[in-house]
């Protein structure tokens, strides 16, 4: 028997609520339906029954890393995804360029500044404060990943981000090590304002990118890699920095697909092509646009994105295919929810009576109601990579 390929596709924010139908019910998705018909379906609680997960936590759980033990915070995952190699003990943040007027943050995204300008501005910000090296890397639009590298940095700190109009918050640390981090955060905030205020690229901008807001703190430590942990090599195909970061964090081979943008303009055909060309036995592919449409309350776009993915799936080549979501993002809620997501498994698995891939049909599925922690055992079982327990 040759090597088998098992592909896990996570459609971010897949699940929805009926109004009176869900986007998945309304969408024309013949490929997903055919896979469901030929395979077996069910419902997945990605982290636990009715738990409302963030995408980061949910992906870790689905990929076999219990977030209670392995969640490093959002910052390190974003930093890894942005291409920064982290060292044990680094403290990392997500950050935004924002607009400050008379000490008040008036726009948390600096008018969604364009990526090109933001990248130039970010180059000015990497520095050293006291004995801490600060690495700033631009990702997309107003977004940055920032790493503090130095001795004895804690992560029990708040955020400088006011999360709305208001003054930049002064940060305090809970313990000695975190007090040091807080001090550097406050000094860096002042440093960034000074550098950015007078930057020529901000001249004439109605909403200048004249400050940086820090949030999502986390301290990085290395975790056992996926292959060592589960005995199967894996690749990761994703657009968004977070998802590449998660892949990198757990030791998947992150395949760069330049046309994968993590938004609705993403080239999903190029991603499927990368999945087909991946050499590893396991490939995780992430598809973001449905979640963004859910957050925007945009039914049509969520439906269209499902149809876009469905068309691309016709080209997918694999022995086993698992398709599910990391959580529900109901259009009617414009937020993540704890409703289960449908799941289908096609390949070295059984067949049930379900013929359509959607929330209501998969409730009748032969897999029943499973949880995120069951997914890696499922992958290993259908990949013939599971080690027998006992003899």
Interface positions with its own copies (CB under 8 A):
17-18, 43, 47-58, 67, 71, 74, 216, 333, 335-339, 348-353, 359-360, 363-370, 374, 377-378, 380-381, 384, 386-391
Tell me whether residue 126 or residue 360 sits nearer to its own copies (CB atom): 360
Owner of token pair 């469905």:
310
Residues 160, 138: Cα–Cα separation, whole Å? 18
Straight-line distance from the first to the last Cα atom of the chain, in angstroms, rounded to the nearest whole number: 22
Q: Minimum distance from CB of 346 to its own copies (Å)?
A: 13
Least distance in angstroms from the C-beta of 124 to its own copies? 27
Shortest approach of its own copies to residue 79 CB, angstroms?
Answer: 14
Q: Which is nearer to its own copies, 59 or 303 (CB)?
A: 59
Nearer to its own copies, 208 or 245 (CB): 245
* Rounded Cα–Cα distance for residues 14 and 63 (Å): 17
Residue 372 and residue 42: Cα distance in Å, rounded?
12
DSSP 149-189: ESSS----B--S--SSSBPPPPP-BSSHHHHHHHHHHHHHH
Encoding tokens for residue 35? 């896979």
CB of 339 vs its own copies, minimal distance in Å: 7
Q: Which is nearer to its own copies, 17 or 201 (CB)?
A: 17
Residue 206 beta carbon to its own copies: minimum distance, rounded to whole angstroms: 30
Rounded Cα distance between 25 and 19, Å, is 10
Query: Closest CB to its own copies among 194 and 353?
Result: 353
Yes or no: say if 77 and 25 are a contact pair by the CB < 8 Å rule: no
State how far the alpha carbon of 168 is from the alpha carbons of 107, 142, 309, 371, in Å: 12, 17, 41, 40
Ramachandran assignment for 13, one of left (phi > 0), alpha (psi -120 to 50 degrees), beta (any other): left
CB of 319 to its own copies, least distance (A): 13
Token reading at 53: 């997960």
Between CA 370 and CA 377 the distance in angstroms is 12
C-beta of 30 vs 368, nearer to its own copies: 368
Could you give the CA distance from residue 301 to residue 285 in angstroms, rounded to a whole number? 20
The minimum distance between CB 352 and its own copies, in angstroms, equals: 6
Rounded to the nearest whole angstrom, what is the least distance from the CB of residue 59 to its own copies in the complex? 9
Nearer to its own copies, 190 or 335 (CB): 335
Is cis: bond before 20, omega within 30 of 0?
Answer: yes
Least distance (Å) from its own copies to the CB of residue 208? 27
Whether the Cβ atoms of residue 8 and residue 44 lie closer than 8 Å to each other: no
Q: Shortest Cβ distance from residue 63 to its own copies (Å)?
A: 13
Q: By the 8 A CB rule, do 307 and 31 touch?
A: no
Q: Among positive and negative, which fits the CA dihedral 39, 31, 62, 383?
A: positive
Identity of the residue, 151 or 350, whose beta carbon is nearer to its own copies in the bound complex: 350
- Which CB atom, from 106 or from 333, has the smaller least distance to its own copies? 333
Nearer to its own copies, 197 or 360 (CB): 360
Q: Which two tokens stand for residue 4?
A: 């088998």
């Amino acid at each position: 028997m040759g090597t088998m390929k098992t592909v896990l596709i996570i459609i971010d924010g897949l699940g929805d609520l009926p109004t009176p139908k869900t986007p998945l019910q309304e969408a024309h998705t013949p490929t997903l339906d055919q896979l469901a018909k030929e395979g077996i379906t069910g419902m997945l609680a990605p982290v636990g029954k009715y738990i409302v997960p963030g995408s980061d936590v949910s992906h870790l759980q689905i990929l076999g890393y219990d977030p209670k033990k392995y969640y490093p915070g959002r910052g390190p995952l974003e930093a890894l995804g942005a291409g920064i190699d982290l060292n044990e003990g680094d403290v990392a943040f997500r950050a935004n360029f924002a607009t400050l007027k008379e000490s008040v943050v008036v726009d948390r995204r600096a008018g969604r500044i364009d990526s090109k300008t933001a990248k130039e501005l970010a180059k000015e910000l990497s520095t050293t404060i006291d004995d801490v090296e600060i690495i700033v890397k631009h990702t997309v639009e107003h977004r940055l990943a920032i790493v503090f590298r130095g001795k004895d940095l804690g992560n029990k700190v708040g955020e400088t981000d006011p999360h709305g109009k208001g003054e930049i918050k002064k940060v305090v640390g809970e313990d000695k090590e975190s007090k040091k981090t807080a001090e550097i955060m406050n000094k860096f905030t002042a440093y960034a304002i000074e550098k950015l205020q007078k930057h020529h690229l901000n001249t004439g901008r109605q909403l200048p990118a004249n400050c940086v807001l820090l949030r999502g703190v986390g301290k990085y430590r290395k975790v056992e890699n996926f292959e060592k942990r589960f005995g199967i090599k894996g690749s990761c195909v994703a657009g968004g920095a977070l998802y590449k970061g998660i892949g990198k964090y757990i030791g998947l081979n992150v395949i760069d697909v330049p046309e994968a943008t993590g938004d609705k303009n993403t080239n999903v055909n190029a991603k499927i092509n990368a999945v087909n060309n991946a050499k590893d036995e396991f490939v995780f592919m992430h598809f973001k646009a449905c979640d963004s449409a859910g957050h925007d309350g945009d039914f049509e776009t969520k439906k269209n994105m499902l149809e876009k993915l469905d068309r691309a799936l016709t080209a997918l080549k694999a022995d086993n295919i698992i398709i599910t979501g990391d959580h529900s993002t109901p259009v009617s809620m414009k937020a993540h929810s704890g409703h289960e997501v449908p799941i289908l498994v096609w390949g070295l698995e059984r067949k049930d009576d379900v013929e359509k891939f959607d929330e209501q049909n998969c409730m009748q599925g032969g897999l029943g109601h499973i949880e995120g922690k069951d997914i890696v055992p499922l992958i290993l079982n259908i990949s013939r990579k599971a080690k027998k327990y006992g003899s």
